[in-house]
Amino acid sequence: MSDLTRLTAAELAEKIHTGEVTAAEVTQAHLDRIAAVDGDVHAFLHVDAEGALETARAVDADLAAGRAPVSPLAGVPLALKDVLTTRGVPTTCGSKTLEGWLPPYDATVTRRLREAGVPVLGKTNMDEFAMGSSTENSAYGPTHNPWDLDRIPGGSGGGSSASLAAYEAPLAIGTDTGGSIRQPAAVTATVGVKPTYGGVSRYGLVAFSSSLDQAGPCGRTVLDAALLHEVIAGHDPMDATSIDAPVPALADAAREGARGDLNGVKVGVVRELSGDGYQGGVLRSFDAAVAQLKELGAEVVEVSCPHFGYALSAYYLIAPSECSSNLARFDAMRYGLRVADDGSHSAEEVMSLTREEGFGAEVKRRVMLGTYALSSGYYDAYYGSAQKVRTLITRDFAAAFEQVDVLVSPTTPVTPFKLGEKVDDPLAMYLNDICSIPANLAGNAAMSVPSGLSDEDGLPVGLQIMAPALADDRLYRVGAAYEAARGPVLDKLGELEAAK
């Protein structure tokens, strides 16, 4: 493996900006790595070598002309989840419905990356329309966890996290509706952040559940995630829910955290996010993380969030309801797949046959669940009740954050399971997000940072840190302090042995 793929984004940026290496060399090293291992990992649905090298060469030309780098990450390549539109570059959302679609516009996240001189290596695999926790719902086959190729890399953004753990990319973008950044981060020993809802523009993020969807940064270190978060965050008039407020200084918070201690920081352990259904190895890793936070000087108290136990049920009404409405746009008329277009079928038949063929089983299940929950006579009982629960969960967070600065829990109740183990059991699959969903429902910020390997199976475990809305900087301060004290986890992976 080329050394360049082993470096963090911050280290690569420094080497590029001081002229030690070129952005084109760094990008090529990652393209070579993808060519060597992605046959086994399958993190990418599409590799855009030419596009990435073109961006890298533009950065190199700028630097050679003596201009300052256009951003702190200029020249550092990245893997982009295939749910964000890229002009002229395939965007499938892991669905047959969008196979071959070339978006006519860039998502705001994509545009910001381009403006920041970040070469986009390609588009990463995901559960179809971001529905799932294992990438097994991708119409293009699953991604494999670099820690054990027979295991899931998490989902829906398993391609993004696996690309980091396999050293195919130093940075990645994910999206998190109920945990799709944090759960993949946890099971691959990488870092993933769900920003405050409204902190990163949703323009060009193909909608699953609009009131929950949020794009965010993924990296191998907390500082790298912070640097990327700063590139993509900020107000966007193209997104009506984008927050018009300054982005807190995230990279500074990460640097301060890594240098300092946690004296004066109050940490709340969420009582409801542990117990039955959590593996012993996960709980022991979590306890060790809490002990480490105390050693760093944090004051740790137990906090109760009594309605978190209802979060999963509320989510599986709200998210499918919004999805049933959002996915109505895939109607075989405007763009995407169209079957039975032979003149012998009515428009309604074409729509119905196309949706039958284009959507996988999980997407159909959600559309039907959501349509049912929204139907007249059931709306109040299902969707309406779920919205009330959502309010109660938001109030739980508000009460907790009156007592503490951040909340912590395991990111997931279990370590990465075997591919195929839960595909036929939707409820078992949904339970992976039991810890991550509350933050989506309330709209606040949350991070997963590696907390080590389970003493049961030697597989990665994640620590979840949650902060109030607009206080994303607290995640980075606490996350970086913890990361520095704990030491690296991913290094234990060693070199991935690609099957020859």
- List the 445-453 sheet strands across, edge first: 44-47, 120-124, 78-81, 171-175, 215-219, 191-194, 445-453, 460-467, 406-410, 266-270, 299-303
* Window contacting ligand GLN (CB under 6 A); options: 27-35, 131-139, 232-240, 474-482: 131-139
Q: Identify which of 229, 214, 228, 194 has the alpha carbon closest to the alpha carbon of residue 462.
A: 194
Locate tokens 């591919």: which residue? Answer: 419
Per-residue contact track with ligand GLN, 149 to 168, x per CB under 6 A? -------x------------
* Window contacting ligand GLN (CB under 6 A); options: 114-122, 126-134, 216-224, 409-417: 126-134
* Window contacting ligand GLN (CB under 6 A); options: 141-149, 171-179, 444-452, 471-479: 171-179
Q: Identify which of 499, 427, 435, 493 has the alpha carbon closest to the alpha carbon of residue 147.
A: 493
Examine residue 133 and tell whether it contacts ligand GLN (CB under 6 A).
yes
Examine residue 138 and tell whether it contacts ligand GLN (CB under 6 A).
no
Examine residue 130 and tell whether it contacts ligand GLN (CB under 6 A).
yes
| Smallest distance from ligand GLN to CB 39, Å | 26
> 38 vs 176, which CB is nearer to ligand GLN?
176
Cβ neighbours for 471, distance < 8 A, ≥ 6 positions apart: 196, 248, 444, 445
- Residue 213 corresponds to which amino acid? D
Say if residues 201 and 108 touch (Cβ distance below 8 Å). Answer: yes
Examine residue 177 and tell whether it contacts ligand GLN (CB under 6 A).
yes
Say if residues 121 and 28 touch (Cβ distance below 8 Å). Answer: no
> 124 vs 180, which CB is nearer to ligand GLN?
180
How many Cα atoms within 13 Å fall on the side-chain side of residue 196?
24
Examine residue 322 and tell whether it contacts ligand GLN (CB under 6 A).
no
Locate tokens 């997000």: which residue? Answer: 433
The whole-angstrom distance between residue 207's C-alpha and the CA centroid of its chain comes to 15
* Window contacting ligand GLN (CB under 6 A); options: 116-124, 128-136, 283-291, 469-477: 128-136
> 33 vs 194, which CB is nearer to ligand GLN?
194
Helices (H), 426-471: 426-430, 437-442
Q: Identify which of 447, 456, 468, 458 has the alpha carbon closest to the alpha carbon of residue 222.
A: 447
Cβ neighbours for 258, distance < 8 A, ≥ 6 positions apart: 222, 223, 480, 481, 483, 484
> 286 vs 316, which CB is nearer to ligand GLN?
316
* Window contacting ligand GLN (CB under 6 A); options: 16-24, 172-180, 195-203, 387-395: 172-180
> 117 vs 154, which CB is nearer to ligand GLN?
154
* Window contacting ligand GLN (CB under 6 A); options: 69-77, 116-124, 176-184, 267-275: 176-184
Joined together, the tokens standing for residue 116 give 């920041």
Residues of this chain, 184-243, that bind ligand GLN according to CB under 6 A = 208
- Residue 347 corresponds to which amino acid? A
Per-residue contact track with ligand GLN, 257 to 296, x per CB under 6 A? ----------------------------------------
User: 3-state class of 183 per DSSP?
Assistant: helix
Give the residue, chosen from 82, 176, 272, 483, that forms a contact with ligand GLN under the rule CB under 6 A.
176
CA dist., res. 449 & res. 463, Å (int)? 5
> 131 vs 253, which CB is nearer to ligand GLN?
131
Examine residue 85 and tell whether it contacts ligand GLN (CB under 6 A).
no
Give the residue, chosen from 5, 180, 196, 324, that forms a contact with ligand GLN under the rule CB under 6 A.
180
Give the residue, chosen from 69, 72, 132, 192, that forms a contact with ligand GLN under the rule CB under 6 A.
132
| Smallest distance from ligand GLN to CB 126, Å | 8
* Window contacting ligand GLN (CB under 6 A); options: 54-62, 117-125, 127-135, 257-265: 127-135
**Omega within 30 of 0 (cis) for the link into 156:** yes
Residues of this chain, 402-441, that bind ligand GLN according to CB under 6 A = 433
> 177 vs 324, which CB is nearer to ligand GLN?
177
User: 3-state class of 301 per DSSP?
Assistant: strand
> 16 vs 152, which CB is nearer to ligand GLN?
152
CA dist., res. 270 & res. 409, Å (int)? 6
> 5 vs 448, which CB is nearer to ligand GLN?
448
| Smallest distance from ligand GLN to CB 133, Å | 4
Q: What are residue 218's DSSP bridge partners?
A: 172, 192
Examine residue 179 and tell whether it contacts ligand GLN (CB under 6 A).
yes
CA dist., res. 271 & res. 308, Å (int)? 10
> 22 vs 412, which CB is nearer to ligand GLN?
412
CA dist., res. 168 & res. 41, Å (int)? 10
Give the residue, chosen from 63, 118, 131, 186, that forms a contact with ligand GLN under the rule CB under 6 A.
131
Give, for 347, the enclosing helix (H) or strand (E): helix 347-358
Q: Which positions are annotated as active-site residues? A: 81, 156, 180
Q: Identify which of 224, 156, 257 has the alpha carbon closest to the alpha carbon of residue 484.
A: 257
Give the residue, chosen from 319, 351, 373, 406, that forms a contact with ligand GLN under the rule CB under 6 A.
319
Say if residues 404 and 278 touch (Cβ distance below 8 Å). Answer: no
Q: What residues make contact with ligand GLN under the rule CB under 6 A?
A: 130-133, 156, 176-180, 208, 319, 433
